[in-house]
Amino acid sequence: MLINCVAYQEGKKLKDISIEEISDYLIIPGCFVWVALQDAELAELEKMREEFDLHPLAVEDAWVSHQRPKIDEYGDSVFAVMHLVEMDGDQLRVGEVDVFVGTNFVLSVRNRSRKGFLGVRGRCEREPHLLSQGAGFVFYALMDAVVDRYFPVLDTLETELENIEEHIFVKGSARSNIERLYVLKRKVMTLKHAVAPLMENTGKLHRGRVPAVCVNSQEYFRDVYDHLNHINTSIDTIRDTIGTAIQVNLSMVTIEESEVTKRLAAWAGLFAVATAFAGIWGMNFEVMPELRWKYGYPSALAAISVVCSILYYRFKKAGWL
């Protein structure tokens, strides 16, 4: 689905144009065309390939729409794949935006995402002195918008981790905490898979041999790289904290099981003493003097009670009961 198709010249918007008019504006000096598609069909991508002379492999990657974040060069053009990570209730929704950038065009194809980039277009149009840098600045603005959307997700994950940490030492909550931590770990890894590859590829846009379309915007891409590096560092910190929290919760489970084991052992010891006394006096040998003693039964009960009381006191003092 076509969202918009606009021609710009010297940092200023010329007009909204139709797909059929694209080729007419591509030949105008200092002019570039910015096209935005959403959940594009193969026929739409093929039309864009013809208009912008896109590489077939890049078009194929955009059509498949389940790519690892990357930035590839095809001649004078650049093809970028970026993941769009958004919160959908308690779950993470992962979309994708594929961006084709040439000297006189920008094509963005957004898939499986509810949030568009109209705000990015408005921002660029409000800064004509920057938009005059051409398609490279639009590429930066799109990438910057994608990276900025990672920060709220990161904040949500950090808040969720803090909530779990508050319940770590609550008695009886260790097992549920471990389940919540593993769910959180999967979310963190989802964000990690979006950030880490993109950070690695963004380096080629501001250092070394920079693609021609990005030369005028190297400083801006370095800023994007810094943001990605900050997010990636925060993700690693969260992962380490989750690992520590899981170990603490496993230790809490072990401690709780040990407490139960000690209680069972203490009660077993009490009953073992009573059983031992009862076993001895229950053998019914003829020569046992206690068998015919008038106070034998109450004395036996008293002895069992005294010994068990002493053991109970000792276990209670040791914290086993």
What's the rounded mean pLDDT across residues 16-26?
A: 89
- Indicate if the pLDDT at residue 30 is higher than 90: no
The pLDDT, as a whole number, for residue 274 is: 78
Asked if residue 141 lies in contact with residue 120, where contact means CB atoms within 8 angstroms, the answer is: yes
- Indicate if the pLDDT at residue 314 is higher than 70: yes
CATH 3.30.460.20 boundaries in the chain:
1-147
CA dist 218 and 210 (Å) reads: 8
207 forms bridges with which residues in the sheet?
A: none
The pLDDT, as a whole number, for residue 155 is: 94
- Indicate if the pLDDT at residue 318 is higher than 80: no
The pLDDT, as a whole number, for residue 286 is: 67
134-144, pLDDT tens digit by residue?
899 999 999 99
Say which residue, 295 or 50, is predicted with more confidence: 50
The pLDDT, as a whole number, for residue 265 is: 77
pLDDT-derived band at 301 (thresholds 50, 70, 90) equals confident
- Indicate if the pLDDT at residue 11 is higher than 80: yes
Asked if residue 63 lies in contact with residue 45, where contact means CB atoms within 8 angstroms, the answer is: yes
**pTM of the full predicted structure?**
0.79
What's the rounded mean pLDDT across residues 15-25?
A: 89
- Residue of 278, 284, 282 whose CA lies nearest to 307: 278
34 forms bridges with which residues in the sheet?
A: 6, 106
What's the rounded mean pLDDT across residues 271-287?
A: 74
86-128, pLDDT tens digit by residue?
888 888 889 999 999 999 999 999 988 878 888 888 889 888 8
168-204, pLDDT tens digit by residue?
877 777 778 888 999 999 999 999 999 999 999 998 8
What are the tokens at 319? 């914290």
The pLDDT, as a whole number, for residue 285 is: 66
Class of domain 1-147: alpha beta
142-176, pLDDT tens digit by residue?
999 999 999 999 999 999 999 988 888 777 777 78
Residues 6+ apart with CB under 8 A from 220: 137, 140, 144
Rounded (10°) CA dihedral 212, 213, 215, 216: 150
How much of the chain exceeds pLDDT 90, in percent?
35
Q: What is the mean pLDDT of the chain?
A: 86
**How far is residue 197 CA from its own chain's centroid?**
14
DSSP helix/strand/coil, 33? strand
CA dist 137 and 184 (Å) reads: 35
CATH label, 149-321, candidates 1.20.58.340, 3.40.30.10, 1.10.3720.10, 3.20.20.105: 1.20.58.340
The pLDDT, as a whole number, for residue 113 is: 83
Could you give the strand order of the β-sheet that contains 77-88, starting from the edge strand earlier in sequence? 12-16, 2-9, 31-38, 105-111, 91-102, 77-88, 70-74
CATH 1.20.58.340 boundaries in the chain:
149-321
